[in-house]
Amino acid sequence: MWRLSRNETKRIDFRVIISGADNVTLVGAASVDDAAIEDCLRLAPVLVAADGGAAAALRFGMPQAVIGDFDSIDSPSLASVPEARLHRVPEQDTTDFQKCLARIEAPLVLAAGFLGQRVDHTLAAFTALVRYQRPCLLVGRHDVCFHLAPGRGYALDLPVGTRLSLFPMAEVSGESEGLRWPVAGLRFAPGGVIGTSNEVTGPVRLRFGAPGMVAIMPRAALAEAAAALTRARAR
């Protein structure tokens, strides 16, 4: 991994590339099934690819943009996308997922192809969720994950018994309703208390006072999780 010099860093273009009122489906290069992308596109019609994710995205149409350092995009995909839609960000201090989140402004981003293939990539994706605090839902083969932004209330209507794990990326505390094990009074931390394998007992309400908490639910909760993020953003 190489790093840019201070002067080179100043020349990086941080302007927003995708902006609008429609939700965005962002496709990454990690393992992802076509059904996940189809599910995302039903809720988020604007298609964007992160670097090597262009190959998967092209199966569903021409992406509005391909963003990344272009170290993993294959030659056929690179040749298929019009030059005006290719946005190369050459610095190596951030992941392609971070590059995309920093340059997309949308009501909601559904990000498929960033979970499951490698643990370090998954942890990097969680870190990006917390760092940028954009309304973004990570969609994998088995799970959906999102950051619980501080000070916002999240309401979820899920079947009783649904797995709802809470994993802290920093020290954080909050309040809950509708969970088998309530979280009020607990101080979560990556090296301390964590909230994996909690269960839904009724209508769920979550609120945390600081950034750092990631909610993890089954893939079947995709639509409800997306609705919860949209409602929380509107408040």
**Quick one: 78 and 88 in the same domain?**
yes
Contact partners, residue 71, CB within 8 Å, separation at least 6: 51
CATH number of the domain residue 4 falls in: 3.40.50.10240
- Look up the domain containing 185 and give its range: 142-235
- Whole-model pTM: value is 0.91
pLDDT of residue 4: 32
Cα gap 30→89, rounded to integer Å:
19
pLDDT of residue 206: 98
Picking from 124, 141, 158, the residue at the C-terminal end of a domain is 141
**Quick one: 154 and 134 in the same domain?**
no
pLDDT of residue 10: 42
User: Residues 103, 15: contact at Cβ < 8 Å?
Assistant: yes
**Quick one: 133 and 150 in the same domain?**
no
- The DSSP output letter for 52 is G
pLDDT of residue 13: 59
> Which positions of the chain have pLDDT values less than 70?
1-14
pLDDT of residue 92: 81
Picking from 107, 126, 141, the residue at the C-terminal end of a domain is 141
**Quick one: 234 and 184 in the same domain?**
yes
Cα gap 211→221, rounded to integer Å:
22
Cα gap 105→108, rounded to integer Å:
8
pLDDT of residue 14: 66
**Quick one: 21 and 126 in the same domain?**
yes
Picking from 141, 169, 187, the residue at the C-terminal end of a domain is 141
- In DSSP terms, 167 is beta-bridged to 214
**Quick one: 163 and 115 in the same domain?**
no
When divided into structural domains, the chain yields a total of 2
**Quick one: 165 and 109 in the same domain?**
no
User: Residues 69, 90: contact at Cβ < 8 Å?
Assistant: yes
Using CB atoms within 10 A of its CB, is residue 15 exposed (0-12), middle (13-18) or buried (19+)?
A: exposed
pLDDT of residue 145: 97
